């Protein structure tokens, strides 16, 4: 069983992770990268603060699932006497006054199902990454916690005295708790929670209905799609890499990073998945965010990642929390923001390219955006072979990476195609010719002499899973002999128990221990591309079986035990699941014909 048996709820403004017993253990306010009001996930083995739960006396069993095709979570707790309660958790999201209503609010509705179950209601937020736990101030129907200018409020229709003292009581009627911004409610908690629940359910089910999904693995793809949506910050269009910070990549490692930011690299992969799903609004918002962020600093080096909103502090620092299962450090901010990662230029152009082709998108790409992308592609050409930290963000070394050079080619190549789309044939031909010169040089320096496989770095043999992406971006066809050989080398050197490492050489922290789930999806995709579909489907089913109890994946997996590690839920992993399912699934026509 994974220790990351967590289920996210959210509304594209805030999110919260709920454990299998119905405890909120991680939730940041007032946005996805904010101070965690609930921090118990990183509070060590037995945290005394930083959570919200409803402990049931004599608990015997806990079951948990999402309401179908929604981000609404249901937890059913049963006691040893047959008593049972149903806990429904969600963050409201629905259309109101012509726009998406997404308040900074968590709603918890607790209903008795059988017997006279006895519960307590415990809400213990903190401030300053767990440094401060102020006592609540009692209101008429609410509790309020303050810390300087920050304030949080819990409004409930349970007795406030029970809430203040965490008194156990017999649950003989539904109770509703509404936690979040320090604002009064427009109605009583029972009416409001019931109304918000119904409207939020309708919103999510309508959103799912609009998706383009494959015939096979529909439930897995739908859950991955909703999870991608929960990782988006709709106010700006940014998408975080994960909702958490500092869940280690492996047991006992120092590989603890803050992933609550928006990476340029993720743009290419995430937009690819959103495009396949027909989730155009989220994709448009994401592309707009990326392009605007780049344009603000167009005269300087392009950072590989951005805060999800202007003014965010990316400076990496250490919070005084014990860490996940006591494995610190807990990092806030990410020093990778100051690195040189030259593949970002390709990510920008590839992310924006659809705006010039997709007739559904209005306004689409125009001359102003094309000129901006010309600057970006020019820098890609200039820096294609310069040493950088690479897509794995090495902190202690720089190399000329094949993936970086490949993405630089992709920036130039796509810009040439965009120019032709805009009927600028002369400019298009020029960009495409220069791109071809760069492509030949990349392959000359990346293909290992005498062995014929593609290295992850130029001029030096390095087995790297990122080489598997090169056909996806168009640098060479999957049938190319060098790529077929690369699959064999990657399998021989990086495969561990059906899962793929990123690379097998030591880095700043030694040799990697756990497999990186996105790399496994890349490998599955590569197998399918060269016609080894049966092997690909077998590996895909294996990785699906490693999801947690509600269908979530983190960043990494222990190939020996199957335990999930790394930040959670990992956007990359959801993207990989979606793209592989799309490639491997039967068509709807074929599936329906065989089903009948």
- Three state DSSP letters for 537-584: HHHHHHHHCCCCCCCCCCCEECCCCCCEECCCCCHHHHHHHHHHHHHH
Tokens of 231: 């990782």
Tokens of 296: 């603000």
Beta bridge partners of 112: 85
The DSSP code for 167 is -
Total count of residues recorded for the chain: 596
The pLDDT score that the predictor gives to residue 354 is: 87
Q: Contacts from 458-461 at CB under 8 Å and sequence distance 24+?
A: 458/385, 458/399, 458/400, 458/401, 458/402, 458/405, 459/400, 460/399
The pLDDT score that the predictor gives to residue 595 is: 65
Torsion angles phi and psi, residue 84, rounded to 5: -150, 150
Rounded Cα distance between 51 and 122, Å, is 8
Q: What is the dihedral of CA 295, 298, 300, 304, to 10 degrees?
A: 50
* CATH number of this structure's domain 210-595, picked from the four choices 3.50.50.60, 3.90.1200.10, 1.50.10.10, 3.40.50.720: 1.50.10.10
Torsion angles phi and psi, residue 193, rounded to 5: -65, -40
Sign of the CA dihedral with 66 first, then 72, 78, and 79 last: positive
The pLDDT score that the predictor gives to residue 32 is: 98
| Coil, helix or strand at residue 251 | coil
Q: What is the mean pLDDT of each run of 10 residues along the chain (596 residues)?
A: 85 98 98 98 94 98 98 98 97 95 98 97 97 92 95 95 95 97 92 97 97 97 97 95 97 94 90 88 86 80 92 94 96 96 95 88 86 95 96 92 98 98 96 98 98 98 97 97 98 96 86 93 98 98 97 97 96 97 95 76
First-to-last C-alpha distance (Å) of the chain: 37
Rounded Cα distance between 60 and 406, Å, is 55
Residue 444 CA: distances (Å) to CA of 63, 440, 494, 539: 56, 6, 24, 32
Of 202, 43, 16, residue with least CA distance to 108: 16
Alpha helices in 422-497 (DSSP H): 425-446, 470-473, 481-494
Query: Nearest 5°: CA angle at 235, between 214 and 150?
Result: 125
């Amino acid at each position: 069983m994974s220790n990351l048996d967590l289920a996210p709820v959210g509304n594209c403004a805030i999110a919260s992770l709920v454990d299998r017993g119905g405890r909120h253990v991680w939730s940041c306010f007032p946005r996805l990268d904010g101070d965690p009001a609930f921090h118990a996930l990183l509070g060590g083995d037995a945290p005394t603060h930083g959570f919200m739960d409803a402990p049931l006396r004599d608990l015997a069993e806990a079951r948990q699932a999402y309401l179908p095709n929604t981000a609404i979570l249901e937890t059913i707790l049963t006691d040893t006497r047959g008593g049972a309660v149903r806990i429904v958790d969600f963050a409201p999201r629905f259309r109101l006054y012509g726009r998406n209503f997404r308040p900074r609010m968590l709603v918890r509705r607790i209903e008795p199902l059988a017997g006279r179950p006895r519960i307590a209601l415990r809400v213990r937020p903190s401030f300053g990454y767990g440094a401060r736990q102020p006592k609540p101030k009692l209101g008429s129907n609410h509790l309020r916690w303050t810390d300087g200018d920050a304030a949080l409020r819990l409004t409930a229709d349970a007795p406030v005295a029970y809430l203040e003292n965490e008194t156990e009581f017999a649950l003989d009627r539904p109770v509703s708790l509404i936690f979040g911004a320090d604002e009064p409610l427009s109605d009583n908690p029972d009416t409001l929670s019931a109304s918000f629940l119904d409207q939020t359910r309708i919103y999510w089910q309508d959103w799912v209905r609009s998706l383009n999904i494959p015939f096979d693995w529909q439930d897995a793809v739908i859950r991955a799609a909703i999870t991608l949506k929960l990782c988006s910050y709709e106010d700006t269009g940014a998408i975080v890499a994960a909702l958490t910070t500092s869940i280690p990549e492996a047991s006992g490692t120092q590989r603890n990073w803050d992933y609550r930011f928006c990476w340029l690299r993720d743009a290419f992969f995430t937009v690819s998945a959103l495009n396949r799903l027909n989730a155009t609004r989220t994709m448009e918002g994401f592309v707009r965010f990326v392009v605007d962020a780049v344009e603000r600093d167009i005269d300087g080096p392009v950072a590989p990642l951005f805060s999800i909103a202007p003014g965010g502090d990316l400076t990496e620092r250490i919070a005084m929390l014990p860490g996940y299962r006591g494995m610190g450090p807990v990092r806030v901010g990410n020093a990778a923001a100051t690195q040189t990662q030259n593949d970002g230029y390709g990510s920008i152009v590839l992310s924006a390219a659809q705006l010039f082709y997709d007739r559904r998108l209005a306004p689409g790409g125009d001359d102003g955006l094309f000129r901006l992308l010309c600057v970006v592609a020019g820098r890609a050409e200039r820096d294609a072979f310069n040493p950088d930290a690479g897509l794995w963000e090495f902190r202690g070394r720089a190399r000329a990476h094949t993936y970086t050079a490949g993405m630089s080619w992709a920036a130039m190549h796509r810009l040439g195609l965009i120019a032709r789309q805009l009927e600028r044939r002369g400019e298009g031909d020029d960009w495409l010719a220069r791109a071809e010169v760069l492509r030949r040089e990349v392959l000359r320096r990346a293909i290992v002499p005498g062995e014929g496989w593609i290295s992850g770095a130029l001029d030096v043999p390095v087995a790297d899973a990122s080489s598997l992406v090169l056909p996806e971006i168009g640098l060479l066809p999957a049938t190319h002999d060098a790529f077929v050989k690369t699959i064999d080398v990657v399998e021989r050197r990086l495969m561990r128990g059906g899962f793929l490492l990123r690379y097998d050489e030591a880095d700043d922290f030694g040799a990697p221990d756990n497999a990186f789930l996105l790399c496994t999806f890349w490998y599955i995709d590569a197998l399918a591309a060269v016609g080894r579909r049966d092997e690909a489907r077998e590996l895909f089913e294996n990785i699906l079986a490693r999801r947690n109890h509600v269908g979530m994946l983190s960043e990494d997996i222990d190939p020996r035990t199957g335990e999930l590690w790394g930040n959670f839920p990992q956007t990359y992993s959801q993207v990989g699941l979606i793209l592989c399912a799309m490639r491997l699934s039967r068509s709807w026509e074929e599936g329906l014909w065989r089903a009948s």
